[in-house]
Amino acid sequence: MASGTVNFTTVKKFKDQIMKLASDHQYSLTEIDETIAKRRLQQAYYEIESRLMARGLTDVQISTWKRGEEYQLDIATYWYAKASGWGGKLRDEVDWTKVFDRREELDDVAVVSNDEDLLLKSESVAVGMDLMTINKELGYDS
């Protein structure tokens, strides 16, 4: 792992995302500790890895996930925001940081590699229906 790269993404992208959120929500934040940023990104990757491995993917397959950076940045951002007290720890219904907590999505998300290979399908995605067969099963022959 190069100094600025943590699996799918870079510390710079993470820091840029955190700084933008701080600015958008008028938080006073001048610098993000590099060690903390790397730790949050690494923890987010481990979360992705453990959930996708539980669904049957290998470490190599996970490392080629097309949307891996998106999920890693969001999960790390959520954890950083919670640790910073952003979003209101006691009032979850108005917590704007919840949109970044995408951990549960990992249990059902479709996983497509950078080469456009479907590695895992999502159970919640509608599959193509054969209307002719359905109609025949319902007794409609036309």
Residue-level pLDDT at 102? 96
The CA-based angle 94-75-8, given to 5 degrees, is 155
Fill in the DSSP letter of residue 117: -
Residue 80 identity (one-letter amino acid): Y
Mean pLDDT by groups of 10 residues along the chain of 142 residues: 81 94 83 90 98 96 96 96 78 77 95 93 62 60 55
The whole-angstrom separation of Cα 35 and Cα 15 is 11
Residue-level pLDDT at 128? 47
Residue-level pLDDT at 125? 47
Helix (H) or strand (E) holding 111: strand 111-112
